[in-house]
Amino acid sequence: MRTAIGQSRPLSSNEDLMRMIKWVILATVAILPALPATAQRYDPNYPVCMQAWTRDGSTMNCRFTSWDQCRAMASGYSAMCLDNPYWQQQRLASPRNRQRRRVY
Per the domain annotation, does 79 fall within a domain? yes
Q: Could you state, in chain order, the average pLDDT of each consecutive group of 10 residues for the chain (104 residues)?
A: 56 80 84 62 81 87 91 92 80 56 61
Q: How many CA atoms lie within 13 A of 99 on its CB side?
A: 1
Q: How far apart are CA 71 and CA 52, in angstroms?
A: 12
**CA angle (60 as vertex; 29, 91 as ends), nearest 5:** 120
Q: How many CA atoms lie within 13 A of 23 on its CB side?
A: 6
What is the structure's pLDDT at 48?
92
What is the structure's pLDDT at 6?
57
Per the domain annotation, does 78 fall within a domain? yes
Per the domain annotation, does 92 fall within a domain? no
pTM (whole model) above 0.85: no
> How many structural domains are present in the chain?
1
Domain that includes residue 75, residue range: 48-83
What is the structure's pLDDT at 18?
87
What is the structure's pLDDT at 68?
94
Per the domain annotation, does 58 fall within a domain? yes
What is the structure's pLDDT at 27?
82
Per the domain annotation, does 75 fall within a domain? yes
Per the domain annotation, does 98 fall within a domain? no
Local structure of 60: helix, strand or coil: strand
